[in-house]
A and B are shown apart, each in its own frame.
Chain A
Amino acid sequence: MLGKLFKYDLKSLGRFIFPLYAVLFGSAIAVRLFLELFGSGADSQGAASFVYTLLGSVIAIVYFLSIVASIFGVYVVIAINYHKSLMSDRGYFYLTLPVSHDMHLISKLLAGALLILLSAAVFVLSFLPFIIGNVQLPEILDVLGKVWETIRELFLSKNAWLILTLLAIGYLFGIQILIFFCITVGQLIPNHRVLGAFLAFIAHMILSRSISGIFAAAGLERLDIEIFDMATVGEALSGILLRSIIYYLIIYAVEYVITRFVMKHKLNIE
């Protein structure tokens, strides 16, 4: 059943997101073509210059907006899909399917995670039209290698793979669980469901920020300022980062349990 739910969740999410990817690639190619064909347009005068500027601006704006939409829009689509499927009209169908609440949640999390991953990949790939022909692959790999080295030295000097794995889990599932938690808790306040969701979000922010702040302060306090070298700083920051990620993952796990509990025992769909 999980496979079937996943299939329909992916279809439901994909019908908004996949066209967005097409717009992103299309506009990236259009920007590159514009630069290739009309790059010298800046030298032209009067009406021609105005047309070049206008056309270039429109294409660039579309490209920029589609980048923003594909990165952040995926979360909006995930939130709308969750609300419509389980907390609104469509809940009358989906919640009467012979599957457990866990299966609904896991299916939605997996479908959402796949699209978050795809969005990140599509974002990176959308730079291809600009790179091809202008920059050589070894140069890119060299820059990426240097960036990675700096990050590794500063934040990942210890437990690098553990931190990266936990970060990936948090990135793919954490925000989704937070979205599900807020919407589900919000429906506990009849007639004020949006306000309820907003209050749940505020509660999450206050709790998570205050305790992660305490973690960070405690970590920095242990840092010996007298021996202030990169290795010591890197080690301290790695520790703070690892503790913060674990702390956030615990919060997301608790929010998943609360979401599941409300769905199972306090469900009151509109």
Chain B
Amino acid sequence: MSIILEARDLTKYYGRDLAVDNLNLTLEKGQIIGLLGPNGSGKTTFIKMINGLLTPTSGMILINGEKPGVNSKKVISYLPERCALPDWMKVKELVKMYGDFFTDFSYDKARTMLSDLHLDENKPYKTLSKGNREKVQLILAMSRQAELYCLDEPIGGVDPAARDYILRTILQNYNEEAAVLISTHLIQDVESTLDRALFLKEGQIVLNDTVDNIREQRGKSVDALFREVFAC
């Protein structure tokens, strides 16, 4: 499997606060990876650096062998943890905008998902509930045929019924040519979807293993191991 993402000695400070500490990591295509850690462990900071929204203090991050830039943005589909779309547009206008900017965007996939989740394309985005806005954002991100999906808290704000649908969608989109990086606290919900788990603690990777290995060698679920590692 080919490498889609590589972090070398990646470090990020906010003022004097260390958010990501000398992180070294490679991610291969064909996997769904859970980026797991408590609040303030550096998950969002790491994802923002992958997407070129934050500049590392030192070290580097490479996507398909290149630093974050125009080429990396062509192959990464990013779902931020906040509502980032222009809220004055209608849902159908947002769909059109995604199609305008991303050549790998599928209108059919987006419309099918909007219909499945009973989201009205003619409604202005700002009139939707917070949960529905998150669903629209996720639908748009997942309607791309990207090589790396970076999903920051994709199911945090949605109802349990929609969570199942979203996780099924992620699984359907998964292929040998793509990697999915999911950052979440809801480990129980995503555990069955994951191939690999990364535990991030105080900006450092404390575990990087396949879910199968965790279950077989440690005899624990990812959720149980998480509670053990991050026990307060």
Contacts and interface: CB of A to CB of B under 8 A. Distances in A.
Interface of A: 1, 4, 8, 12, 15, 89-93, 95-100, 190, 265-269
Contacts of A90: 84-86
Contacts of B14: 190
Contacts of A99: 70, 73, 101
Interface of B: 14-15, 48, 51-55, 69-71, 73-74, 76, 78, 80, 82-86, 88, 97, 100-102
A105 B25 CA distance: 33
Nearest to B68: A96
Contacts of B102: 98
Nearest to B150: A96
Contact of A97 (B48, B73, B80): B73
B140 to A, nearest CB: 9
A1 B101 contact: yes
Given A8-B97, A267-B54, A267-B55, A89 B84 contact: yes
Contacts of B74: 98
Given A267-B52, A267-B53, A267-B55, A98 B101 contact: yes
A98 B54 contact: no
Contact of A268 (B55, B78, B85, B97): B55
B15 A190 contact: yes
17 contacts: A8-B97, A89-B82, A89-B83, A91-B84, A92-B53, A93-B84, A93-B85, A95-B51, A96-B51, A96-B73, A98-B102, A100-B69, A266-B55, A267-B55, A268-B54, A268-B55, A269-B54
Given A90-B85, A268-B55, 20 more contacts: A12-B88, A89-B82, A90-B86, A91-B53, A91-B84, A92-B53, A92-B82, A93-B86, A95-B53, A96-B51, A98-B70, A98-B101, A99-B70, A99-B101, A190-B15, A265-B55, A266-B55, A267-B52, A267-B54, A267-B55
A99 B78 CA distance: 15
Contact of B101 (A4, A95, A267): A4
Nearest to B81: A92
Contact of B100 (A4, A15, A91): A4
Contacts of B85: 90, 93
A12 B52 contact: no
